[in-house]
Amino acid sequence: MQGRRLVEMARKWLGALSKGMICHEVEAIAMEGLQVVQARKGFILCHFLVPRRLSDRDGNWHVGAMATLIDNVGGAAIWSSVGNVKSTVNLNISYYSTAKIQEEVEIEAKVVAEKETLVAVVVEIRKRSNGELVALGKQWMATGMTTVNITEFSKL
């Protein structure tokens, strides 16, 4: 039962971020329109249509906006697994190709390791049209404690 609650809370958290309800404006812009397709313990799958306002000067998805998305979707996968995230302590992103404006991508985040109060997640961004890898993020987050205050996100 607690596992389902954590997954649902992670899903709600991402939804609130993508609607600008609980974050800074930069995060809201970078996450606008994100759709959670699948969520289970330690796993989040999303679809995202790259909006025009996230383009660089060449019409590609801006790497800073991509990094924000990787950080937040990775955090949601961790939340769904352990019920708490405090901060990113290490984030490494490799960019393999570009995604153009109005291109649809798939973001998949999987928890791959837990070590005391640290949890690791791998986040892949692929083009939906052909599966080409756009970016790969590897992230460690501090979780602090392993329990969650359920009422904290009850307003979402």
Q: What is the CATH number of the domain that holds 126?
A: 3.10.129.10
What whole-number distance in Å separates Cα of residue 111 and Cα of residue 94? 18
What residues have CB less than 8 Å from 111, skipping those under 6 apart? 42, 43, 77, 78, 81, 119, 120, 121
What whole-number distance in Å separates Cα of residue 133 and Cα of residue 127? 7
Query: If you search the block for the tokens 């607690």, which residue do you land on?
Result: 2
Q: Is 142 among the domain residues?
A: yes
Instruction: Residue 18: give the domain boundaries.
Output: 2-149
Q: What mean pLDDT value characterizes the chain?
A: 85
Q: Is 105 among the domain residues?
A: yes
Tens of pLDDT, residue by residue over 98-108, are 999 999 999 99
Residue 148 has a pLDDT of 42
- Rg of the Cα trace of the chain? 15
Q: Is 156 among the domain residues?
A: no
Residue 24 has a pLDDT of 67
**Are the C-beta atoms of 106 and 44 separated by less than 8 Å?**
no
Q: Is 81 among the domain residues?
A: yes
Task: Pick out the chain residues at pLDDT < 70.
Answer: 1-2, 20-24, 145-156
Residue 22 has a pLDDT of 67
Residue 145 has a pLDDT of 53
Q: Is 155 among the domain residues?
A: no
What whole-number distance in Å separates Cα of residue 35 and Cα of residue 76? 13
Q: How many domains does the chain have?
A: 1
Residue 32: phi and psi, rounded to 5, are -55, 125
Q: Is 154 among the domain residues?
A: no
Residue 89 has a pLDDT of 86
Buried b (16+ CB within 10 A) or exposed e, 40-64: eebbbbbebebeeebbeeeebbbee
